[in-house]
Amino acid sequence: MFEKTVPIRIRLTAWYMLLVAITLAAFGGFVYLNLARGLYAEVDAGLRTLAQEAARGIDNENGSLRFQNTDTSSLISSAPSSTLREAGNGVIMRLLNEAGNTADGVGEYARLPLPHRLQTGFSNVRISGEPWRVYTIRIELPSVHSAYVLQVARPLGAVDETLERVAGVLVLGIPLVLFVAALGGVFISGRALGPIDRVTRLAREVGAEDLSRRLNLRLPDDEVGRLARTFDDMLTRLEAAFEREKQFTQDAAHELRTPLTVMKGTIDVALSRPRDAADYRAALLEMETQVDRLIHLAESLLVLARAESAKLDLNVEPLDLAVLVGGLVEQLQPIAEAKGVSIRYDGPGTLPFRGDQDRLIRLFLNLLDNAVKHTPAGGSVTAEVTARPGSVEVTIKDTGPGIPPEHLPHIFERFYRVDKARSRSEGGVGLGLAIAKHIAQLQGGDIRVSSTPGKGSVFAVSLPTSR
Ligand code: ADP
């Protein structure tokens, strides 16, 4: 639910905030604990020094011990810690005998609680609600038989105050930093994701009529920049595809209209006045030619439509490519001979291959048919089959007029003809090469053409064998 409705920029910011919050909390905790440990260590070191100094200066007066120097300031002046020196006058010292009775004291020692069972070491106590640090040691003097206990204490007020101030800065500062980071996060992710919104808006608005629209965003070459550019490129391709389809429909309509117009004219002429049987026959023969043209066109369109959309129902089966191409050459032999063109097959006797037999026949027949059609009497057509590692190459060469270089890039386009009038009079509709190319690509291969005007053309089909 959350994932679906909350904008990605807020989600990104929330994650980013969580990370920043954890990092800041960990960092703040670390700083605070380290500082506290350092300050306490300093206090303890000071108390230890103070206790040593005080112990050294204890006198034995008639069997009971006394502090020789009760001026804690002078004792403390030798202490290493500045905080301790400042707190010098607040220091309390007390000397207890083994029974727990006070033998001597400095400062307001009466307020200092007695050590529990005269235990030594550091402890924290509260005196009138204030925190104090107490250090307790045992003293063994050679001149005295019983042991004594020395307590040294100082207030922790300054230390706690420092720590409180630091904690205050952290508690106020962290949310402030988080707030600024959140604003920055929303702003930065908004800026970064803004172009995506524009892509979405344009994608929603673009229809078939306005495929010419583009984002044209000037963005760096990052993920979003690439997305925007890819989107524009996609629109360019779509626009070109739509243009091609429009052109195709126009061309197809034109191709349909031409024979129909001719037929209509023939009928009008035949019906304009009574005629004899021979005239009607001539008219019907003319119409038959046009009907054949229409049938050929309809078939070609059907084959093309299937070749373009039939990736799924490609009927791949084992076949012999040498036999297939050789057979087509044989099939065209009579037509070529009638034109005075020699046609031959040049290749191995057998070449196992896996492909769609019907479509491959259509592909090579279109190429061979073109070659024979365009080659004048006395010329020759050769179909070469060569096995290469991973592919086979079928090359159809002719010694015809060739194709002018400016036409070569368009020759595989639908309805494209070099010489429209001549091609049409020969029954060509300009779909043969488009169909051939689609079939080759359907089988994972391709067709290349090279031609020398006046010398002839070469159509090379390469088909992969390992698929
Ligand atoms: P068509 O049905 O008109 O032959 P194609 O698509 O088969 O259409 O060929 C397109 C154009 O390419 C033809 O009009 C023709 O001018 C040219 N062409 C194709 N094959 C050859 C060839 N072997 N020699 C010369 N021109 C060719």
Is residue 1 scored above 70 in pLDDT?
no
Q: Nearest-5° angle of CA 260, CA 261, CA 265?
A: 115
Q: What percent of the chain has pLDDT over 70?
A: 91
Q: Which of 339, 413, 417, 429 has most ligand 1 atoms within 8 Å of its beta carbon, as the pocket-test mutant?
A: 417
Residue 273 has pLDDT above 90, yes or no: yes
| Atom number, ligand 1, closest to the C-alpha of residue 435 | 6
Neighbours of 437 (CB within 10 A): 22
pLDDT (average), residues 4-25: 88
User: Using a 6 Å CB cutoff, which residues line ligand 1?
Assistant: 366, 370-371, 374, 398, 400-401, 403, 411, 416-419, 423, 428-434, 457
CB 65 within 8 A of CB 58: yes
pLDDT in tens, 105-119: 887 788 888 777 778
Torsion of CA 348, 353, 343, 428, to 10 degrees: -170
Torsion, CA 46, CA 50, CA 52, CA 53, rounded to 10: 140
Could you tell me the distance, in angstroms and rounded to a whole number, from the CA of residue 368 to the centre of ligand 1? Answer: 11
Pick from 430, 176, 436: nearest CA to 307? 436
Any residues with CB less than 8 A from the CB of 90 and at least 6 apart, and which? 107, 154, 155
- Ligand 1 atom closest to Cα of residue 396: 23
- Does pLDDT of 89 surpass 70? no
Q: Which amino acid is residue 124, in one-letter code?
A: N
Q: Which amino acid is at 240?
A: A
pLDDT at residue 341 tops 80: yes
Q: Report how far residue 457's alpha carbon sits from residue 89's, in angstroms, rounded to the nearest whole number.
A: 113
pLDDT in tens, 167-191: 999 999 999 999 999 999 889 888 8
CA of 456 to the centre of ligand 1 (A): 12
pLDDT at 312: 58
Q: b/e string for 176-193 if b means 16 or more Cβ within 10 A?
A: eebeebbeebbeebeeee
Mean pLDDT of 211-230: 86
Give the closest residue to 450 by CA, choosing from 439, 435, 461, 436. 461
Whole-number Å distance, alpha carbon 374 to ligand 1 midpoint, is 8
Q: pTM of the entire structure?
A: 0.59
Res. 82: pLDDT tops 60: no
pLDDT for position 100: 81
Determine the pLDDT at residue 84: 45
Would you state the pLDDT for residue 72? 61
Tens digit of pLDDT for each residue in 372-405?
999 999 999 999 999 999 999 999 999 999 999 9
Q: Which amino acid is at 247?
A: Q
Q: In one letter, which amino acid is 234? A: M
Q: What is the 3-state secondary structure (H, E, C) of 102-145?
A: EEEEECCHHHCCCCHHHCCEEEEEEECCEEEEEEEEEECCCCCC
The Cα 443–Cα 440 span in angstroms is 5
